[in-house]
Chain A
């Protein structure tokens, strides 16, 4: 059974710092891995989607990597800003099924 773990559960950093959020999964048979952002009381906004054949994806200050063999993904945020404060969730889509499995998220607070 696929399990997705995100560490740390919460993170507080000063503005301008580069930071890395971690996501690990137990079954490497995935179609893709997706990173989402969730603001309080809101739905999820897709940030980056990495297909199983890809190693990384970039969008602006965000870079996500995928290492299927080790069951790990990282989300790198460069030059963090207070507006980056939110919960970041990763999710994997397994092969041979239609389900997406979500981690519990990392709650990020960027201090001005």
Chain B
């Protein structure tokens, strides 16, 4: 089945450590996104990518980094500079070409906590 796979489901970070969250999609979508969700708040955009080897900062990019070396993959690294990383992280993808109104499809998320 086509879809978006995020791993791991749960992740723990020690202070000063960088951790990487995986996101893979087999939907052949051009665009991919990373969101952060905190309790009682809407999703906030961290980074997005419209094409391989290109990505743009979202609203809360500080302390995060991404890469887009393959169309199917958009990993997110939470660096030690992110002082409050505890949250639920969601990856999404969508079609772009000539279809700005296409829906986003989401993975099942990764819950990151501090040890």
Contacts and interface: CB of A to CB of B under 8 A. Distances in A.
Interface residues of B, number: 29
Contacts of A64: none
Contacts, number: 61
B103 A98 contact: no
A63 interface: no
A100 B40 contact: no
B87 interface: no
- Chain A interface SS verdict (over half): strand
Contact of B101 (A43, A51, A91, A99): A51
Interface residues of A, number: 26
B98 to A, nearest CB: 13
Interface stretch (B12-20, B41-49, B61-69, B73-81): B41-49
14 contacts: A9-B40, A32-B101, A34-B104, A36-B106, A42-B108, A43-B6, A43-B106, A43-B108, A46-B104, A91-B42, A98-B48, A99-B45, A99-B48, A99-B59
